[in-house]
Structure 1
Amino acid sequence: MLYLWIKAFHIVFIAAWFAGLFYLPRILVNLAQVPEGSVAERQRLIGMGQRLLRFSTLLAIPAIGLGLWLWLGEGIGKGPGNGWLHAKLGLVLLVVGYHHGCGVLLRKFIQGNSRRSHRWFRWFNEVSVLLFTAIVVLVVVKPF
């Protein structure tokens, strides 16, 4: 029974974490489009980005912790035919890197050092959707 509670909360925290990873890059798109003299708009978007990054980070911690519990404590993915789990763990590392990258890009806006176009940020925005889709497919379909 504990396993089901851990699994349920893992899914909830993953969904909440990804909600932040879906929206934070969109804030970066908006920041890249702010006209040069719009200080108030820029500061408002930076504040939103900072709060969302903090909140998403707080959601990532239990998501990862509960996932580790399922993997190491409950034995998920042990034995033959569980290559999907290794692929999923690799993608989770990419998600953590993406999350960190969002923070780095936000700091560049704060420092006034961002030189990327809003088009680049639009493409960057899609990475979280691709990672989320790949992880869900691996977990549900378990193709290998």
Structure 2
Amino acid sequence: MAVAAWWFEPDWLYGWLKVLHVVAVISWMVGLFYLPRLFVYHADAATAGEPSATFVVMEQRLVKVIMNPAMMVSWVVGLWLAWSGFGFSGAWLWIKIAAVVGLTVFHVFLSRSARRFAAGENTMTARQWRMANEIPTLLMIIVVIMVIIKPFA
């Protein structure tokens, strides 16, 4: 049914894909905001203690169950919307895509950091994780400005 809808592109499809895209982006952003916050507390926890083991489970589930699927849906549906709705034209769209690439790079960094925490190899302090937590906020602001204002349309 989904393939038929994609193939025939009915009028209602674009709106529903926008809904799916927004829900996926919100889910992804929640993970990008929450995982560094978990790292702040994890960095302060004793490496071999029970809280550390709990953080490892929380971090891995957040990455695998929420963040990875949400990022993939955001990208796939977002690229389809960019192609279908705008034909990949407009400087605002390319700036938005560049910011989303930045979010993806940060996502990969966080995923690798979760693995390092699980292995007991974290090298950043809680303060550094607090500062890193601002990166997705700045990139999100760029994305929202490009989508709503379209300053370079």
Query: With structure 2 as the length reference, what TM-score do the two structures score?
Result: 0.86
- The total of aligned residue pairs comes to 140
Query: Which of 117, 121, 139 is the equivalent residue of 2:125?
Result: 117
Which of these residues, 95, 99, 102, is aligned with residue 94 of structure 1?
102
Q: Does 1:31 align with 2:31?
A: no
Counterpart Cα distance in 2 of 1:65 and 1:53: 18
1:50 maps to a residue whose letter is Q
Q: Structure 1 CA distance, aligned partners of 2:117 and 2:77?
A: 33
Matched, 1:142 2:153: no
**1:1-144 alignment to 2 at 5 Å?**
1-36=12-47, 39-54=49-64, 55-72=66-83, 74-76=84-86, 78-79=88-89, 82-144=90-152
Q: Which residue identity lines up with residue 109 of structure 2 in the other structure?
A: G
| Aligned mates of 2:127, 2:25 — CA distance in 1 | 27
Higher relative contact order (CA 8 A, sep 6+): 1
Work out the CA distance in 2 between the residues paired with 1:78 and 1:110. Answer: 40
Cα distance in 2 for residues equivalent to 1:125 and 1:69: 29
Is the 8 Å Cα contact of residues 29 and 118 (structure 1) preserved in structure 2? yes
Report the CA distance shift for 1:129/1:77 in structure 2 as closer, same or farther (over 3 A).
farther
Percentage identity across aligned positions? 32
1:77–1:85 contact (8 Å) kept in structure 2: no
**1:75: how far off?**
3.6
Residues 1:36 and 1:102: Cα distance change in structure 2 (over 3 Å): closer
Contact 1:14–1:60 under 8 Å retained in 2:
yes
Equivalents in 2 of 1:20, 1:76: separation in Å? 28
Task: Measure the CA separation in 2 of the matches of 1:97 and 1:70.
Answer: 21
- Secondary structure of 1:8's counterpart equals helix
Following TM superposition, the consecutive aligned residue runs of length 4 or more in structure 1 with deviations greater than 3 angstroms are none
Alpha-carbon distance in structure 2 between the residues aligned to 1:127 and 1:85:
20
Q: Distance in 2 between matches of 1:61 and 1:36?
A: 32
> SS in structure 2 opposite 1:113?
coil
What is the alpha-carbon distance in structure 2 between the residues aligned to residue 62 and residue 122 of structure 1? Answer: 27
Instruction: Output the CA distance in 1 between the equivalents of 2:54 and 2:41.
Output: 11
